[in-house]
Amino acid sequence: MDEKPLYLNYNLPLEERINDLISRLTLDEKIPQFLNNAIAIERLNMPKYDWWSEALHGVGFAGIATVFPQAIGLAATFDLELMSEVSKAISDEGRAKHHEAVRNNQRKIYQGLTFWSPNVNIFRDPRWGRGQETYGEDPYLTSRMGVTFIKGLQGDHPKYLKLVATPKHYVAYSGLEHERHFFDAKVSKKDLYETYLPAFEACIKEGKAEGIMGAYNRVNGEPCCASKLLLQDILREKWKFKGHVVSDCGAIKDIYHDHKVAKTGAEAAAMAINAGCDLICSLGISLKKNKKIKWGWISNAIQQGLLTEDAIDKALIRLFRARFLLGMFDPPEMVPYTTIPYEVNDSETHRQLAIQAARKTVVLLKNEGKVLPLREVIKKIAVIGPTADNKDVLLGNYFGVPSRYTTILQGIKEKVVGKSQVYFAEGCPLKEKSEEGFSEAIRIAKEADAIIMVLGISPRMEGEQGQAIESDLTGDRIDIGLPGSQNSLLKEIHEIGKPIVLILTGGSALSFEQAKEMIPAILFAWYPGEEGGIAVADVIFGDYNPAGRLPVTFYKSIDQIPDIRDYNMKGRTYRYFEGEPLYPFGFGLSYTSFHYDNLDLSSDEVRIGEDVSISVEVENTGNIFGEEVVQLYLSNASPKFTVPIRELKGFKRIQLDKNERKVVIFTLHPHDYSTVNMEGNRIVDPGEIIINVGGSQPGFRENNGNFVNGTFKLIGKSLMFE
């Protein structure tokens, strides 16, 4: 009887098993393992495996799955407990789908256990089409959301990973989509370490992400997928990353074809692998059908002396590490996640979680005269707008296929069935300047007792290159206002004189000054997922009290925003924007009111290197139950160099009955009150720190008494972080 090979002995150390497996591979067998669609090695009973799966806000592109609100909407919840529940549900469905596929002898793309999510790029410009995939413009919020999402995906088993999470796109990727294959982001050391890197660092150090995806673009001349600074110096040496790096799809081809820093595919592949890129997604999109040519890039690099087998083996160690940690070489009964039943996929429990998540994403931007909620029975309701009955608006991008949809129109109809008559008219096209539908919209508006207008944008207008088919720039937007004839339609309907509630959809900030002036009640619904219509209707009619907050700044116009090609953070996001926004980052109203008082610090003087505890009391002073997002901002009173105006350093979403009070406690660690100097060093200097705690940024909340502030003094010697 043949002795079991070492790599199949699950009692041996991981490193020993990986080394044994690699030692059994020939060079010709090793090379194809670098591609996302890795070949089978039948003599070792190793099946083929495709590394490419997606889980941005649900298992994507793999058939029926629960579709949760788009990532930017999840960020608007400011709710880490919810994010944990959502990511655990996604990981349940991902595991269940994989094992069902294997049982049916299917090992195709999107059926694996290595998921290329989350997107933790900083959403620094609202024109970027892929900003909807992110957690917004703030490094701290993005870090907390990203770490929580990763932990939910990867699980907490001491030996096995539930899934592999792969934060992307590393790094400084948030510009024009049609330029992403050749663009060079010029980033200062300060901006790199203060803005673009922190979320990735948190995802690796705290989240323990097993994978990371390199970006298409260059940073200061180096292609991200072949950057010694990014992949070796920072990722592996400074952050001690042990996992694998995957290129974005086609990014290796870009190194020679678009960035032109290599002359051939072989040189590009060698540059990437030698720099620390372990897995290559689609070496060359145009060469996809000819695998031998694709493999030839790596083979040629070896033959030309550009790449050694030792470098190959180092990368394979990191790749097989992921597959071993997922339990792919162990008996299924040893891996607890193999028993997750397929029935969890698209289950009623997950559907209810999607509804709850969607409710929590909704941001109440304006409620003049307390128009909302609509509590009294309204005999006739006119629903008007091109995104009211639009399925695309529910899904965002990178989505699965829900078995059931509820659009905003459907949600409203279901909410008032038997009570109100609902009329509907699109009114105008989503984007085109046309008044063709105005007359029908005006007719039903005149007949109605109340009007709900649903305007905004859809994933057809913003998204990844080539995906947003109605976008201005193959994914991005030129303007951030309401498109087409939507403003004109809104004005026409407003002039009728009936009460109007405005619902806005989108995955990024919109500019709507005219609407803000005219309309008394405005809600922002993002791309709310498969049952988004139920959630929006719950908010409109008072069955749910909204508490979402903006994870991005809403500007008055693009005139307030620097050139999108400029990666300098000056003038960008709430941290460096000095103008007056339409609505600020962190903003959101409620149907009730809150009061803050009794700010207390563990000490007024904090020795540098020590923690500081901050507590505050929050009271619901209104008449109904509500949720409040308590936000902590820090400002440096007398900085020695350029620092953010203020920075979010803590948040908690809490629930309060009417007249209930709660004490909320934050603990600041030295890293939290540090700043980044012009050389990119994170340091703490003696001086005064200003604290603001409230329901939004200081100075912007419309409710009186909604903020408390204080200071503490840092004393002692300056501290520099490694």
Residue 576 has pLDDT above 90, yes or no: yes
Q: What pLDDT is recorded for position 705?
A: 55
Q: Does position 269 have pLDDT exceeding 60, yes or no?
A: yes
Question: What CATH number corresponds to the domain at position 32?
Answer: 3.20.20.300
Residue 331 lies in a domain: no
Q: Does 223 have pLDDT greater than 60?
A: yes
Q: Are residues 316 and 383 in the same domain?
A: no
Which uninterrupted H or E stretch holds 712? strand 707-715
Is the pLDDT reported for residue 272 higher than 70?
yes
User: Residue 180: is its pLDDT beyond 50?
Assistant: yes
pTM confidence score: 0.97
Mean pLDDT of the 622-650 span: 97
Residue 363 has pLDDT above 70, yes or no: yes
Interval 601-633: pLDDT, tens: 999 999 999 999 999 999 999 999 999 999 999
| Structure confidence at residue 701 as a pLDDT band (50, 70, 90) | low
How wide is the angle at C-alpha 116 spanned by C-alphas 110 and 118, nearest 5°? 130
Residues 287, 385, single domain; the answer is: no
Contact indicator for 219, 227 with CB cutoff of 8 Å: yes
Domain membership of residue 95 (yes or no) is no
Domain that holds residue 234: 25-47+168-187+196-325
Q: What value does the mean pLDDT take over residues 699-703?
A: 64
- pLDDT over threshold 80, residue 340: yes
Q: Are 441 and 424 in contact (CB under 8 A)?
A: no
pLDDT above 90 as % of the chain: 94
Partners of 690 in the beta sheet?
635, 711
Same domain assignment for residues 515 and 609: no
Contacts of 191 (CB under 8 A, 6+ apart): 567, 568, 569
At 666-680, the pLDDT tens digits run 999 999 999 999 999
Q: Is residue 147 part of a domain?
A: no
CA 13 to chain centroid: 35
Residues 559 and 598 both lie in one domain: no
Which bin fits 56, alpha (ψ -120 to 50), beta or left (φ > 0)?
alpha
Instruction: Determine the pLDDT at residue 656.
Output: 98
Give how far Cα 534 sits from Cα of 25, 77, 256, 409, Å: 54, 17, 49, 9
Cα(339)–Cα(99) distance, integer angstroms = 9
- Within this chain, do residues 408 and 520 fall inside the same structural domain, yes or no? yes
By C-alpha distance, which of 48, 146, 59, 45 is closest to 95?
Answer: 59
Residue 415 lies in a domain: yes
Would 122 be classed as within a structural domain? Answer: no
- Of the candidates 598, 573, 601, which has an alpha carbon nearest to the alpha carbon of residue 666? 601
| Residue 291: pLDDT over 60 | no
Which tokens in the block code for residue 177? 């989509």
Residues 472 and 533 in one domain: yes
Q: Please check whether residue 347 lies inside any domain of the structure.
A: no
Which is the catalytic residue, given 54, 138, 426, 462?
462
Which of the two residues, 375 and 124, has the higher pLDDT score? 124
Question: Is the CB of residue 295 less than 8 Å from the CB of residue 266?
Answer: no
Instruction: Report whether pLDDT(152) > 90.
Output: yes
Specify the pLDDT at position 83: 98
Q: Which of 53, 75, 167, 70 is nearest to 121 (CA)?
A: 167
One domain, residues 436 and 568: yes
pLDDT of residue 376: 86
The answer to whether the beta carbons of residues 612 and 673 sit under 8 Å apart is yes
Cα–Cα distance list, 486 to 386, 500, 621 (Å): 9, 15, 38
User: Could you tell me which of 87, 110, 217 has the C-alpha nearest to residue 165?
Assistant: 87
What are residue 595's DSSP bridge partners?
619
Element spanning 245, H or E:
strand 244-247
Per-residue model confidence (pLDDT) at position 284: 43
The pLDDT value given to residue 294: 54
pLDDT in tens, 230-241: 999 999 999 999
Same-domain pairing of 230 and 303: yes
Q: Among the three residues 325, 349, 372, which one is the final residue of a domain in this structure?
A: 325
- How far, in Å, are 276, 424, 443 from residue 229 at the CA level? 10, 56, 63
pLDDT tens for 526-564 read 999 999 999 999 999 999 999 999 999 999 999 999 999
Domains: count for the chain: 3
Active site residue 462: yes
Same-domain status, 569 and 598:
no
One domain for residues 643 and 714: yes
Whether 156 is catalytic: no
HSE-CB of 206 using CA atoms within 13 angstroms: 14
Q: What is the per-residue pLDDT for 285? A: 39
Spatial separation of the C-alpha atoms in residues 234 and 297, rounded to whole Å = 27
Give the CATH number of the domain where residue 666 resides.
2.60.40.10
Which one of 54, 93, 138, 248 is the catalytic residue?
248
What value, to the nearest 5°, has the Cα angle with vertex 451 and ends 445 and 454? 110
Domain of 486, CATH number, reads 3.40.50.1700
Q: Does any domain span residue 74?
A: no
Is residue 292 domain-shared with residue 366, that is, in the same domain?
no
Pair 282, 297: CB distance under 8 Å:
no
Reported as a single tens digit per residue, the pLDDT across 154-179 is 999 999 999 999 999 999 999 999 99
Q: Say yes or no to pLDDT of 502 above 80.
A: yes
CB 32 within 8 A of CB 291: yes
> What integer pLDDT is reported at residue 288 of this predicted model?
44
* Angstrom distance (rounded) from CA 540 to CA 385: 16
List the structure tokens of 344: 């969890």
Tell whether 703 and 661 lie within a shared domain: yes
705 vs 45, higher pLDDT: 45
Is residue 629 domain-resident?
yes
Last residue of a domain, one of 576, 607, 632: 576
Average pLDDT, the chain: 95
